[in-house]
Amino acid sequence: MQTKSLYIASLEPMAGSLFVTVGMMELLKRRLGKVAFFRPVIERDQKKDEDIVFMLEHFSLDMMYDQTYGLSVDEVETMVAENRFKEGIEFLIGKFKNLEEQYDFVLCEGLNRTVFNTTMDIDVNLILAKNFRAPFISVLNGRNKKAKELFEEIRIEERNIKNEGTVHFATFVNRLDQNVLEKLKKKITARSNKNVPTYMLPENSELDKPSVADVMRKLGCVHIFGSKKDLNRVVQQSRVAAMTVENYLTYIEEGDLIIVPGDRTDIIIGTLAAVYSRNYPHVAGILLTGGIVPNAAMMQLLEGLNVFPVPILSFSGDTYTAAMQVNAVPSKIRPHSDRKIALAMGLFSAHVDAEQIEARIDSASASDIVTPSMFEFMLFEKARSERKRIVLPESNDDRILQAAEILLRRDVADIILLGHPETIQHRSSMMGLDISRAEIIDPETSSELMANFVQTFFELRQSKGLQFDAAQDAMTHVTYFATMMVYTGMADGMVSGAVHTTGDTIRPALQIIKTKPESSIVSSLFFMCMDTRVLVYADCAINLDPDAAQLAEIAISSADTAIAFGIEPRIAMLSYSTGTSGQGEDVEKVREATRIAREKRPDLLIEGPIQYDAAIDPDVARQKLPNSSVAGRATLFIFPDLNTGNNTYKAVQRSSGAIAIGPVLQGLNKPINDLSRGALVADIVNTVAITAIQAQNSDKL
């Protein structure tokens, strides 16, 4: 799939990320119909983000302002401090995905790294680009730096981007001295790694100068005279007029912003005379200080001029303050800065290979990165698209109540809780939770429902020797009662195990729900959410030592589950031996299981027996199985027994920081899923979402 987005950001201020963003938007707009602009994080204390306003106005983007940004810096820093940054990432992914669905392309611009609190040890831009699956454009500030220093900075940046797991599209080095540019170009040309192009742009003094409009906005001045279009004049330097007119005139230069007290009418008249004289340079404007404006006679004089090419501003502060603040005004490219925009685009076109960039956009595939946040977002979106009713029988556990609130607030599923309504409501209120939308059923007081369930269960198991009183006793257990709700269609799925054992969850399911016609066993899998991809491990929770036929069935069931969750199954049948290199009973079991699975499902990519390193590492795969379509790129790992699978998933989870979602049960006619008794609230939320998606797929069969 071709990429539909790019993410542009710089490490430091004044690097020119907006300049690069404008250039890239020009390229995109001439090729694509609908392009969106997105700023995931905006600065604090801004009424409206200036870059967003510029992009919307200059490119006439068909967007509302609220669509163009996600969070403020303050919100992000608070979330990081409170260990809730994952929540922020999920929110931003949602906003970004909405734009991706509505537009042909999404161009993102991040804030420079220094805007964020120095105590933060994460690069927000790289993390967001990875979670958006957007190739990254890095912008470096080359001003006052040597070629050797910049070359090393480029290499460090490339390593950082690669280590984060983000796709690196290009590097722009901006604001370069011409001599440094030539030296850096030689270093870049000579290096061996040319996969990521580097574009070098020279410094331009005019682009680095503020306009009169920039000064007016930054100092809060009032525009008292002159044409608005003249506010775009570039301020080359500021000059305080403190001398008499005859002496002052000898000092003015082209592009000066004259700073003078508002009662110095002699300087104002002298400046106007200089403007109309061919013998003096043209000033950019006049800034009157002290909040003093020309008197009525002076204003009448000004109004009598047919053409008045110099803007006059009024500043409430004193002359010294004005001079200090004017010198600190940064240069900005604004929607109506026609001269600056034309100059910037000319500079971009002259030094950037537009055809190369367009070719890279066309050839760049959307990153196959799947982060844990992206996977969880997909789960919630898919579950939300066709909401199902999921019963949670363990309402006496606080984690279940917390998860229920999250699920209801995010519209992931409709929740049914089992227990005493007053007890549940009281407990949730004490915890500050709102579960008012949940349906609460008390098995002990639902006599008619209980009687129907007992009778149905008795009829289902009578042939197995079940006595009626045993059926009554079974139905007093909440897991049996909840499973019967799923069987009768009162609920679409059940999640249990926070308090109960795996046996307590699976036993009622096997007796009541039963396995699918094509399944002889119930098996399980875990979604292992690594930093940049999601792998599937099976069976790590249920079957102690499956035989070859059962192992083949586990592989096929797991492949179908993976497909249902958007993961392409490339199946590795794991063993301690790869290919034909080893012998033994355990290896032969895996070899036979591979043969059976291939025979039953020739449409699946299956390799076995294969060792874990050969299955996941391309370099090892090239040595051990060079012609395999699975080796080195496996996504689904079938473990030969419970001992191996359970220990491996826990070892990977604890040593790599991977998020293990599961176990997800498969092979049942209707979805029932088990929780670990050490499950976190997030684990419960994810498992309910998975159960809801399984229920959606069951309806389609």
- Residues listed for the chain: 701
pLDDT, tens digit (0-9, with 9 covering 90-100), for 121-141: 678 899 999 999 899 999 999
Confidence of residue 2 (pLDDT cuts 50, 70, 90): low
Give yes or no for a cis peptide into 663 (omega within 30° of 0): yes
With helix as H, strand as E and coil as C, how does 418-485 read? ECCHHHHHHHHHHCCCCCCCCEEECCCCCHHHHHHHHHHHHHHHHHHCCCHHHHHHHHCCHHHHHHHH
Please name the residues in contact with 97: beta carbons below 8 A apart, sequence gap of 6 or more: 377, 381
**Average pLDDT, rounded, for the chain:** 87
Residue 154 to residue 317: CA distance in whole angstroms: 44
**What letter does residue 2 receive in the DSSP assignment?**
B
For 305-359, the pLDDT digits (tens) are 666 678 899 999 999 999 999 988 877 777 666 667 777 777 888 888 888 888 8
- Work out the burial of residue 308: count CB atoms within 10 Å of its CB; fewer than 13 is exposed, 13-18 middle, 19 or more buried: middle
Question: What distance in Å separates the CA atoms of residue 413 and residue 692, rounded to the nearest whole number?
Answer: 7
Global pTM? Answer: 0.67
Strand partners, 574: 610
Burial degree of 322 (CB within 10 A; 0-12, 13-18, 19+): buried
> In the predicted model, what is the mean pLDDT of residues 285-289?
92
Comparing C-alpha atoms, which of 585, 590, 595, 596 is closest to residue 612? 590
Least confident of 150-159, 207-216, 666-675: 207-216
Task: Give the pLDDT of residue 368.
Answer: 64
d(CA 435, CA 449): 23
Residues 6+ apart with CB under 8 A from 79: 71, 85, 87, 88
Tell me how far apart the alpha carbons of residues 688 and 495 are, in angstroms, rounded to a whole number. Answer: 6
| Range 558-589 burial, b when 16+ CB lie within 10 A, else e | bbebbebbebebbbbbbbebbbeeeeeebbeb
